[in-house]
């Protein structure tokens, strides 16, 4: 086993390498405070919560699936299930790490041991720049939504729950 894969100190380096391989000259930024939640990330980065990319790993039956959701939105798991054609279940921390190589709170949109089907919240496309996790709860990087779509091979979908209460 590659020790760098299991050592989270190298997580931003792995994200940088994956971004570089995808043709992105990444500007990964490290902050002294947490960017684990969308609100923390927005406050720390100095942007709107909507511009924060939440990387949410679920299980479609027994296979991992990634939903990249705008920080202001709550994922509609029924919609995700319809998109995948499978029952959606929660992925625990161990499953997330096994599937992605990263811990919850720092899961980037790319750089996984094996490809993961990815769905991208249509609401992210309204911004010029969004911010995604870069491997730890303190590392993030900016990216244009079109580039995020290109490098992930993701499918754009309406992923948010209805916002009416």
- Domain spans of the chain, in order of start: 3-157
pLDDT of 128 higher than 60: yes
> Mean pLDDT across the stretch 16-45?
91
The dihedrals phi and psi of 156, each to the nearest 5 degrees, come to -75, 135
| 61-84: pLDDT as tens digits | 999 999 999 999 999 999 999 999
What is the model's pLDDT at position 14? Answer: 95
What is the model's pLDDT at position 5? Answer: 52
Which of the four pLDDT bands, split at 50, 70 and 90, describes residue 35?
confident
Q: Could you tell me how many helices (H) and strands (E) the chain has, helices first?
A: 6, 8
Domain with residues 3-157, CATH architecture: Alpha-Beta Complex (3.90)
What is the model's pLDDT at position 47? Answer: 95
DSSP designation for 162 = P
- CA torsion sign for 79, 85, 90, 92 is negative
Nearest to 111 by CA among 136, 91, 75, 92: 136
Q: What mean pLDDT is reported for the chain?
A: 92
| 9-21: pLDDT as tens digits | 789 999 999 999 9
b or e along 130-158 (b: 16 or more beta carbons within 10 Å of the residue's beta carbon)? bbbbbbbbbbbbbbebebbbebbebeebe
26, two tokens? 């990444």
């Amino acid at each position: 086993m590659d020790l760098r894969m299991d050592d989270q100190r190298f997580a931003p380096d792995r994200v940088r390498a994956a971004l570089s391989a995808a043709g992105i000259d990444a500007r990964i930024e490290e902050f002294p405070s947490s960017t684990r939640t969308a609100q923390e990330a927005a406050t720390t980065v100095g942007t709107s919560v909507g511009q924060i990319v939440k990387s949410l790993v679920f299980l479609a039956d027994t296979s991992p699936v990634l939903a990249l959701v705008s920080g202001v939105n709550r994922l509609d798991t029924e919609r995700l299930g319809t998109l995948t054609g499978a029952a959606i279940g929660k992925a625990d921390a161990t499953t997330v790490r096994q599937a992605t190589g990263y811990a919850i709170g720092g899961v980037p949109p790319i750089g996984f041991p094996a490809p993961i089907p990815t769905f991208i919240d249509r609401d992210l496309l309204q911004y010029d720049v969004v911010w995604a996790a870069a491997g730890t709860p303190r590392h993030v990087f900016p990216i244009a939504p079109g580039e995020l779509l290109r490098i992930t091979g993701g499918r754009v979908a309406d992923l948010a729950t209805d916002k009416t209460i």
